[in-house]
Homo-oligomer: A and B are copies of this chain.
Amino acid sequence: MPPEASSSPLPHPVNCPVGVYDSGYGGLTVLRQLRKTLPELDYLYLGDSGRAPYGGRDVDTVLDFSEQCVERLFAEGCRVIVVACHTVSCVALRHLQHRYGSDERRILGVTIPAAEAAVGRTRGHIGFVGTARTVASHTFRTEAHKLKPEVKITEVAAPLLAPIVEEGWEDSEIARLAVQRYVAKFSGIDTLVLGCTHYPLLEKAFDELTPPDVAVLNPAPEVAERFRVWREQHPGFAPQGSGSLRVLSSGDAANFARHGARFLGEALPMVEHIAEQNGRLALCPEGSEPIGQVVR
């Protein structure tokens, strides 16, 4: 159902926004770069924060959730979706591309742009820090080795960092100590890739706690630049818009708007609540979440 052919009853004037999908808040750091690079496009962000973090989940669950999210974004009129979440990009991207990709719909990830940026910058040894699921997939290593097989790559899982940022404690001593412990697991790297969209909020700690000859690499600008180049070749997937932004979240909408501003670097518009109904993510008013014992 190409959105221009439908007479949508939705009150939203946006026809063909760029979809940006993440398990939670983190992808707003990618959206921020996209809006900086291509401010004239319309964007629709989906943060699956009610079910975040994805990093400790099994593969089937990541596939299921990512299908639901991508289907929601296409149903809202997107023709291209940027999967900002490294966990989804590393595990489910090819599945999503096989299942939903077509001449009219595309799904792009962050792992290949991250690998290209890192391989282009390294002197021989790349460090990569991400969630447990991202690291277990070894997809970053696979992609980097396709580009340059002789590069050495060390991947470290940092399961506590995303929860620390979700808690809003990224400027605390707790965050510094946690970054320090994870950074200490690397040895001899010259480039450190922040392989989770939450970690750019810890960039200062990473910069201070890595040796001065290690470049800390936030892939988000590279993702945005790659998207800009891709769009020049595929303009129909993301036509000129008015710079509008809609945000959907499966978590608490008010919380998402409040915390999200730290990630986006500006205030968010009113966040619309989505929830799973019969295996699909549907727009639905909040406050329907039950309190106390639930009997179904």
Residues of A that sit less than 8 Å from B by CB: 50-53, 56-61, 63, 90-95, 98, 136-139, 142, 159-160, 163-164, 166-167, 169, 172-174, 177-178, 181, 250, 275-276, 289-296
Contact B56 A51 (CB under 8 A): yes
Which B residues are CB-close (under 8 A) to A93? 293
Query: A98, A289, A292 — which one has the most chain B CB atoms within 10 A of its CB?
Result: A292
Residue from the list B138, B166, B250, B291 in contact with A292, Cβ < 8 A: B138
Which B residues are CB-close (under 8 A) to A295? 94-95, 98
Rounded to whole angstroms, the CA-CA distance of A63 and B289 in the bound complex is: 13
A-B contact pairs, 20 of them (CB 8 A): A50-B56, A56-B166, A58-B250, A58-B275, A58-B276, A90-B292, A91-B294, A93-B293, A94-B293, A136-B291, A137-B292, A137-B293, A138-B292, A139-B293, A159-B163, A160-B164, A172-B181, A173-B177, A174-B174, A174-B181
Shortest Cβ gap from A12 to chain B (Å): 25
Which B residues are CB-close (under 8 A) to A61? 51, 276
Nearest-CB residue, chain B, relative to A178: B174
Shortest Cβ gap from A230 to chain B (Å): 19
Nearest-CB residue, chain B, relative to A91: B294
Rounded to whole angstroms, the CA-CA distance of A33 and B64 in the bound complex is: 37
Stoichiometry, copies per complex: 2
List 20 additional A-B contacts (Cβ < 8 Å) besides A95-B296, A174-B181: A50-B58, A51-B56, A56-B166, A58-B289, A59-B289, A61-B276, A63-B294, A90-B292, A90-B293, A91-B293, A94-B293, A94-B295, A95-B294, A95-B295, A139-B293, A159-B167, A160-B163, A163-B163, A169-B181, A172-B181
Which B residues are CB-close (under 8 A) to A169? 160, 181
Contact A292 B98 (CB under 8 A): no
Which B residues are CB-close (under 8 A) to A53? 56
Which B residues are CB-close (under 8 A) to A160? 160, 163-164, 167, 169, 174
Contact B167 A293 (CB under 8 A): no
Shortest Cβ gap from A139 to chain B (Å): 5
Contact B139 A290 (CB under 8 A): no
